Amino acid sequence: ATPTSIMVGTGRAAELGVLFRKGEALQALQGVEVVAFDKTGTLTEGRPRLTDLTVAAGFIEDEVLSLVAALETRSEHPIARAIIQAAETRSLAVPEPEVFSSRPGFGAEGRVAGRAVQVGADRLMIGLGHDVSAFADQAERLGEEGKSPLYAGIDGRLAAIIAVADPIRATTPAAIAAIHALGLKVAMITGDNRRTAEAVARHLGIDEVRAEVLPDGKVEAVRALQAGGRRVAFVGDGVNDAPALAAADVGLAVGGGTDVAIESADVVLTGGDLRGAMNAIALSRATMRNIR
Ligand code: ADP
Ligand code: MG
Predicted complex ipTM: 0.97
CA–CA gap between residue 106 and residue 191 (Å, rounded): 9
So what's the pLDDT on residue 287?
Answer: 84
Query: Does 40 sit in the ligand 1 pocket, CB within 6 Å?
Result: yes
**pLDDT exceeds cutoff 80 at 2:** no
Q: Are residues 58 and 37 in the same domain?
A: no
Q: Are residues 65 and 31 in the same domain?
A: no
**pLDDT exceeds cutoff 60 at 4:** no
> Of 136, 165, 194, which residue is a domain's last?
165
The average pLDDT across 247-264 equals: 93
Span 25-46, pLDDT tens digits: 989 999 999 999 999 999 999 9
Q: Are residues 174 and 38 in the same domain?
A: yes
Q: Are residues 191 and 236 in the same domain?
A: yes
Give 183: exposed, middle or buried? Use CB within 10 Å, 0-12, 13-18, 19+.
exposed
CATH of the domain at 122: 3.40.1110.10
Asked whether residue 107 is assigned to any structural domain, the reply reads yes
CATH of the domain at 276: 3.40.50.1000
Name the pTM for this structure. 0.92
Query: Does 119 sit in the ligand 1 pocket, CB within 6 Å?
Result: yes
Q: Are residues 143 and 236 in the same domain?
A: no
CA–CA gap between residue 275 and residue 178 (Å, rounded): 8
Residue nearest (by alpha carbon) to ligand 1 atom 21: 107
Nearest C-alpha neighbor of 231 from the set 32, 37, 36, 26: 32
From 192, 196, 258, give the residue whose CB has the most ligand 1 atoms within 8 Å, as the site to mutate. Answer: 192
Span 87-141, pLDDT tens digits: 999 999 999 999 999 999 999 999 999 999 999 999 999 999 999 999 999 999 9
CA–CA gap between residue 215 and residue 243 (Å, rounded): 10
- Provide the domain count of the chain: 2
Domain that holds residue 157: 49-165
Clarify whether 38 is annotated catalytic: yes
Q: Are residues 247 and 192 in the same domain?
A: yes
Span 209-254, pLDDT tens digits: 999 999 889 999 999 999 999 999 999 998 899 999 999 999 999 9
If one counts every other C-beta atom within 10 angstroms of the C-beta of residue 91, the result is 7
Q: Are residues 161 and 243 in the same domain?
A: no
- Distance (Å) of CA 186 to CA 34, 141, 234: 6, 25, 10
> Of 165, 184, 199, which residue is a domain's last?
165
Span 45-68, pLDDT tens digits: 999 999 999 999 999 999 999 999
Q: Are residues 106 and 172 in the same domain?
A: no
> Of 110, 132, 165, which residue is a domain's last?
165
Asked whether residue 1 is assigned to any structural domain, the reply reads no
- Distance (Å) of CA 285 to CA 6, 26, 66, 281, 290: 12, 8, 53, 6, 9
